[in-house]
Amino acid sequence: MTYKTLKDFDLNGKTVLLRADLNVPVQDGKVTDTTRIDRVKPTIDYLRTQNCKVIILSHYGRPKGQENAEFSLSFLPPVLRDQWGVLVGFGTDSTEDIKLLENLRFNAGEEANDLEYAKTLASLGDIFVNDAFSAAHRAHASTQKITELMPSCAGLSMEAELIALTNALEAPKKPVVAIVGGAKISTKLSVLNNLVKKVDYLVLGGGMANTFLFAKGAPVGLSLCEKDMKEECLSIEQKAKDAGCEIILPVDRIAILEFKANADHEVIGIDTIADDQESVDIGPETIKNIEGILEQAKTVLWNGPMGVFEMKPFDNGTNALAKKVATLTKSGSLLSVAGGGDTVSALDNAGAVEDFSYISTAGGAFLEWIEGKELPGVIALQNAKAKAA
Ligand code: AMP
């Protein structure tokens, strides 16, 4: 994959349009997680060393093409200043060298990928830098159309994400293990269908493993299970066989009668479960099995928890595997990439986030990547490079 990066341009004194994803979580007026802000800091720091003026473009929430005070980004400059250690103005009229524009989605042209709106944005700067991988699955004016109008490249955070995902899925060191958990198979059919073609082992946990076990004839009691997905499971299994990918299912599970934290629980096998029991986590034999596979692996891609990690102690399976991956990564034997949906909070709960090689904070874009889809924002950078060459 080739695209231009910051190092390909003489940026000195230029005005850079920086697409960031500052669609941060806010509760009672406070930003509750600054990860997305922190990820842009290396690019901001680099642009400052090049004496650039920076105009930051971002969306925030879903105002649907209308101005709406509820979705204004005006609260953010002081937070950016605190996180980045630099003054940030708001709007084009502000005097600071770094300014944040109002929510792009106040203009209907943004989501419509409108040429005229993209021209308006492009007229504000000399070079476009996209540092918002998490918005790259959308073909919007500030992620796609604008790249047709001006020199364009990836920012440092975008570059890091593309390198990590390429190393995990496009050109990985083998054996490659994908660990996929979470609630439902129906939301991850495309993910599973793509992964079986690319990985050596597909480890399944969470609610979706119940569905697979059911498809193969195991009883599931009251466990979360999509019984109408039986044919899809069998088809994925066949595709895996054809592609030489081994699907690893639980061999034991943790069953409860009452769905609550610290509920009485027991380890049960795959062949039996009481009608009123439900399975909420993988069992100790399963953990041991998967740990053995991880010890042989060179690359791990992880999406979704192995059990109901929000309720203790049913985060045990997720925690044990997360710690194993973290330890192997730290020892240098494994490249590990995780992301999508609840994965980051599940790994955070396990205390393992720091030791993974790369954690993606891009929900939808990460999933679309592992579904094998082309992301318009990434293709746009590649095309911009081709045009410039
Ligand atoms: P997803 O967004 O598809 O990755 O699903 C994440 C959710 O799956 C979490 O809220 C977990 O509590 C839930 N989950 C994982 N394992 C199970 C299970 N065995 N039974 C019910 N829910 C589960």
Class of domain 6-155+374-388: alpha beta
36, 105, 198, 385: which is the annotated catalytic residue? 36
41, 53, 184, 239: which is the annotated catalytic residue? 184
Is the whole model's pTM more than 0.75, yes or no? Answer: yes
Active site residue 13: no
Interacting residues of 242 by C-beta distance below 8 A, sequence separation 6+: none
Residue 389: what pLDDT? 56
Residue 341: what pLDDT? 78
Residue 387: what pLDDT? 73
| 156 close to ligand 1 (CB < 6 Angstrom) | no
Mean pLDDT by 10 residues, the chain (389 residues): 94 98 93 93 98 98 96 97 97 96 98 98 98 97 98 97 93 96 93 96 97 97 96 97 98 97 97 97 98 98 97 98 98 95 91 94 91 95 80
Q: What is the CATH T-level fold of the domain 172-356, as seen in this structure?
A: Rossmann fold (3.40.50)
Residues linked to residue 18 through DSSP beta bridges, in sequence order? 56, 129
Residue ID of nearest Cα to ligand 1 atom 11: 308
Q: Which atom from ligand 1 is nearest to the alpha carbon of 343?
A: 4
Interacting residues of 372 by C-beta distance below 8 A, sequence separation 6+: 190, 194, 197, 198
Active site residue 330: no
Residue 58: what pLDDT? 98
What tokens were used for 166? 């390429």
How far does the centroid of ligand 1 lie from the alpha carbon of residue 318, in Å?
11
Mutate to test the pocket of ligand 1, among 308, 312, 319, 367 (most ligand atoms within 8 A of CB): 308
Residue 388: what pLDDT? 67
Residue 1: what pLDDT? 81
Q: Which atom from ligand 1 is nearest to the alpha carbon of 279?
A: 19
Intervals of CATH 3.40.50.1260 along the chain: 6-155+374-388, 172-356
Sign of CA dihedral 206, 212, 216, 218: positive
* Biggest CA-to-CA distance, the chain: 70
